Amino acid sequence: MNYVLKLNDIQAKKVIRFYRDYQTQSNNQTVLFFAKTEFVSVTIYKSFKVMFQGMDALQEFNMWNTMLDLKQEEPIKKTISKSSPTNYYLSSIGSDEVGTGDFFGPIVVCAAYIKESDTDFLKSLKIDDSKKITDERIRIIGEQLKDKITYSMLALHNKKFNEMTAKGYNMNKLKAYLHNSALINLSKKVEGKPEIILDQFAEPKLYFRYLENEQEVLRDITFTTKAESKYASVAVGSIIARYAFLKYFDNLIEDSGYDLPKGASHKVDQITALIIKEKGEKYLETIAKINFKTVQKAKELLSN
Is 235 found in the same domain as 205? yes
Q: Answer yes or no: is 82 within a domain.
A: no
Asked whether the beta carbons of 242 and 107 are under 8 A apart, the reply is no
CA atoms within 13 A on the CB side of 65: 19
Is 228 found in the same domain as 122? yes
CA atoms within 13 A on the CB side of 248: 24
Is 181 found in the same domain as 264? no
Q: Answer yes or no: is 61 within a domain.
A: yes
Confidence of residue 3 (pLDDT cuts 50, 70, 90): confident
The pLDDT value given to residue 71: 67
Q: What's the CATH number where 30 sits?
A: 3.30.310.10
Distances (CA, A) of 47 to 20, 44, 58, 75, 104: 19, 8, 21, 21, 37
pLDDT tens for 192-232 read: 889 999 989 888 889 999 999 899 999 899 999 889 989 99
- The answer to pTM > 0.75 is no
Q: Answer yes or no: is 44 within a domain.
A: yes
The pLDDT value given to residue 1: 66
Is 295 found in the same domain as 266? yes
* CA–CA separation, 235 and 243 (whole Å): 12
Is 114 found in the same domain as 202? yes
pLDDT tens for 26-36 read: 888 889 999 98
* CA–CA separation, 191 and 71 (whole Å): 47
Bridge pairing between strands 49-53 and 41-45: antiparallel
Is 188 found in the same domain as 126? yes
Is 97 found in the same domain as 238? yes
pLDDT tens for 224-273 read: 988 998 999 999 999 999 999 999 999 999 999 999 999 989 999 999 99
Tally of structural domains, the chain: 3
Is 100 found in the same domain as 229? yes
pLDDT tens for 71-80 read: 665 543 333 3
The amino acid that residue 167 corresponds to is K
Q: Which residues span the domain enclosing 283?
A: 258-303
Q: Answer yes or no: is 76 within a domain.
A: no
End-to-end Cα spacing for the chain: 34
Q: Which of 18, 50, 67 is the last residue of a domain?
A: 67
Residue-averaged pLDDT of the chain:
89
